[in-house]
Amino acid sequence: MNKSSYPYTTAYQNIISQLAKKHITIADIASLAQELQHQYSPVPAFATIKTMVIELLHQPEVLNRMLVGFALDKAATQHELQEPLQAISAHDLGVFGTDETLALGIATWYGTIGMTNFNELDLYKHGILHNLDHNQHYVNTFTDDLVAGVAAAVAAKIAHQQS
Protein backbone atom coordinates (compact mmCIF):
# COMPACT_ATOMS: atom_id res chain seq x y z
CA MET A 1 0.00 0.00 0.00
CA ASN A 2 1.37 3.42 -0.80
CA LYS A 3 1.30 6.21 1.78
CA SER A 4 -1.40 8.24 0.09
CA SER A 5 -4.09 5.60 -0.35
CA TYR A 6 -6.32 4.34 2.43
CA PRO A 7 -7.33 0.66 2.11
CA TYR A 8 -11.08 1.37 2.27
CA THR A 9 -12.23 -1.96 0.86
CA THR A 10 -9.82 -4.10 2.86
CA ALA A 11 -10.57 -2.26 6.10
CA TYR A 12 -14.35 -2.46 5.57
CA GLN A 13 -14.18 -6.16 4.70
CA ASN A 14 -12.05 -6.76 7.81
CA ILE A 15 -14.65 -5.03 10.00
CA ILE A 16 -17.50 -7.01 8.46
CA SER A 17 -15.51 -10.22 8.96
CA GLN A 18 -14.73 -9.40 12.59
CA LEU A 19 -18.40 -8.62 13.25
CA ALA A 20 -19.47 -11.88 11.57
CA LYS A 21 -17.07 -13.88 13.75
CA LYS A 22 -19.00 -12.54 16.72
CA HIS A 23 -22.38 -13.15 15.04
CA ILE A 24 -23.11 -9.46 14.47
CA THR A 25 -24.72 -8.26 11.27
CA ILE A 26 -25.43 -4.87 9.75
CA ALA A 27 -29.09 -5.66 10.47
CA ASP A 28 -28.32 -6.14 14.18
CA ILE A 29 -26.72 -2.71 14.37
CA ALA A 30 -29.55 -1.15 12.37
CA SER A 31 -32.06 -2.74 14.76
CA LEU A 32 -30.33 -1.10 17.72
CA ALA A 33 -30.49 2.29 16.01
CA GLN A 34 -34.12 1.80 15.04
CA GLU A 35 -35.13 0.67 18.54
CA LEU A 36 -33.31 3.57 20.11
CA GLN A 37 -34.79 6.27 17.87
CA HIS A 38 -38.35 5.06 17.28
CA GLN A 39 -39.43 6.12 20.76
CA TYR A 40 -38.65 9.75 19.92
CA SER A 41 -39.57 10.22 16.26
CA PRO A 42 -40.63 8.38 13.14
CA VAL A 43 -37.84 6.28 11.67
CA PRO A 44 -37.12 5.58 8.02
CA ALA A 45 -37.53 2.15 6.44
CA PHE A 46 -35.27 -0.53 7.87
CA ALA A 47 -33.39 -0.82 4.56
CA THR A 48 -32.55 2.89 4.80
CA ILE A 49 -31.21 2.43 8.33
CA LYS A 50 -29.04 -0.48 7.17
CA THR A 51 -27.67 1.75 4.40
CA MET A 52 -26.85 4.41 7.01
CA VAL A 53 -24.88 1.82 9.00
CA ILE A 54 -22.96 0.74 5.91
CA GLU A 55 -22.18 4.35 4.96
CA LEU A 56 -20.86 5.09 8.45
CA LEU A 57 -18.74 1.94 8.42
CA HIS A 58 -17.01 3.22 5.28
CA GLN A 59 -15.57 6.28 7.04
CA PRO A 60 -11.80 5.91 7.62
CA GLU A 61 -11.91 7.31 11.16
CA VAL A 62 -14.69 4.87 12.06
CA LEU A 63 -12.84 1.98 10.44
CA ASN A 64 -9.64 2.88 12.30
CA ARG A 65 -11.37 2.93 15.68
CA MET A 66 -13.01 -0.40 14.99
CA LEU A 67 -9.81 -2.01 13.70
CA VAL A 68 -7.95 -0.95 16.85
CA GLY A 69 -10.73 -2.07 19.20
CA PHE A 70 -11.17 -5.43 17.50
CA ALA A 71 -7.42 -6.03 17.55
CA LEU A 72 -7.29 -5.31 21.29
CA ASP A 73 -10.25 -7.62 21.99
CA LYS A 74 -8.62 -10.38 19.94
CA ALA A 75 -5.30 -9.94 21.75
CA ALA A 76 -7.08 -10.04 25.12
CA THR A 77 -9.04 -13.16 24.10
CA GLN A 78 -5.75 -14.85 23.21
CA HIS A 79 -4.07 -13.61 26.43
CA GLU A 80 -1.50 -11.65 24.41
CA LEU A 81 -1.68 -8.33 26.27
CA GLN A 82 0.82 -7.46 28.96
CA GLU A 83 -0.39 -7.18 32.54
CA PRO A 84 -2.09 -5.27 33.95
CA LEU A 85 -3.73 -4.38 30.60
CA GLN A 86 -4.67 -8.03 30.04
CA ALA A 87 -6.66 -8.25 33.29
CA ILE A 88 -8.19 -4.80 32.90
CA SER A 89 -9.33 -5.46 29.34
CA ALA A 90 -10.40 -9.07 29.83
CA HIS A 91 -12.62 -8.13 32.77
CA ASP A 92 -13.91 -4.87 31.23
CA LEU A 93 -13.24 -3.00 34.45
CA GLY A 94 -15.49 0.03 34.81
CA VAL A 95 -12.63 2.44 35.40
CA PHE A 96 -10.91 1.48 32.12
CA GLY A 97 -12.88 3.91 29.92
CA THR A 98 -10.64 3.51 26.87
CA ASP A 99 -13.24 1.35 25.15
CA GLU A 100 -15.91 4.02 25.65
CA THR A 101 -13.51 6.73 24.46
CA LEU A 102 -12.98 4.95 21.13
CA ALA A 103 -16.71 4.34 20.76
CA LEU A 104 -17.72 7.92 21.61
CA GLY A 105 -15.65 9.13 18.69
CA ILE A 106 -18.04 7.15 16.50
CA ALA A 107 -21.22 7.88 18.48
CA THR A 108 -20.79 11.64 18.09
CA TRP A 109 -20.16 11.44 14.33
CA TYR A 110 -23.48 13.23 13.65
CA GLY A 111 -23.48 15.41 16.75
CA THR A 112 -23.57 15.22 20.51
CA ILE A 113 -27.01 13.57 20.58
CA GLY A 114 -25.03 10.45 19.74
CA MET A 115 -23.40 10.64 23.17
CA THR A 116 -26.79 10.44 24.88
CA ASN A 117 -27.74 7.57 22.59
CA PHE A 118 -24.49 5.77 23.36
CA ASN A 119 -24.95 6.17 27.11
CA GLU A 120 -28.39 4.57 26.92
CA LEU A 121 -27.10 1.64 24.88
CA ASP A 122 -24.06 1.19 27.12
CA LEU A 123 -26.19 1.27 30.25
CA TYR A 124 -29.03 -1.02 29.18
CA LYS A 125 -27.17 -3.32 26.72
CA HIS A 126 -30.07 -3.80 24.28
CA GLY A 127 -30.20 -6.71 21.82
CA ILE A 128 -26.87 -7.91 20.47
CA LEU A 129 -25.05 -5.78 23.06
CA HIS A 130 -26.39 -8.03 25.82
CA ASN A 131 -25.06 -11.09 23.99
CA LEU A 132 -21.64 -9.49 23.54
CA ASP A 133 -21.48 -8.38 27.16
CA HIS A 134 -22.22 -11.89 28.44
CA ASN A 135 -20.16 -13.89 25.93
CA GLN A 136 -17.82 -16.35 27.65
CA HIS A 137 -15.81 -17.27 24.53
CA TYR A 138 -14.46 -13.88 23.44
CA VAL A 139 -13.36 -10.69 25.12
CA ASN A 140 -15.74 -8.01 23.84
CA THR A 141 -14.61 -5.06 25.93
CA PHE A 142 -14.23 -2.87 22.84
CA THR A 143 -16.62 -4.66 20.49
CA ASP A 144 -19.80 -4.01 22.46
CA ASP A 145 -19.00 -0.31 22.80
CA LEU A 146 -17.97 0.08 19.16
CA VAL A 147 -21.20 -1.55 17.98
CA ALA A 148 -23.14 0.71 20.36
CA GLY A 149 -21.23 3.70 19.01
CA VAL A 150 -22.22 2.92 15.43
CA ALA A 151 -25.88 2.38 16.39
CA ALA A 152 -25.88 5.58 18.46
CA ALA A 153 -24.46 7.60 15.57
CA VAL A 154 -27.02 6.23 13.13
CA ALA A 155 -29.84 7.00 15.59
CA ALA A 156 -28.45 10.54 15.85
CA LYS A 157 -28.49 10.88 12.06
CA ILE A 158 -32.11 9.77 12.01
CA ALA A 159 -32.97 12.29 14.74
CA HIS A 160 -31.35 15.12 12.77
CA GLN A 161 -33.23 14.16 9.63
CA GLN A 162 -36.52 14.27 11.52
CA SER A 163 -35.94 17.70 13.07
The pLDDT tens digits for 74-95 are: 999 999 999 999 999 999 888 8
Mention every residue, 6+ apart, whose C-beta is less than 8 A from residue 159. 37, 40, 41, 113
pLDDT score of 153 more than 70 = yes
- Cα(26)–Cα(133) distance, integer angstroms: 18
Summarised one tens digit per residue, pLDDT across range 29-82 is 999 999 999 998 899 999 999 999 999 999 999 999 999 999 999 999 999 999
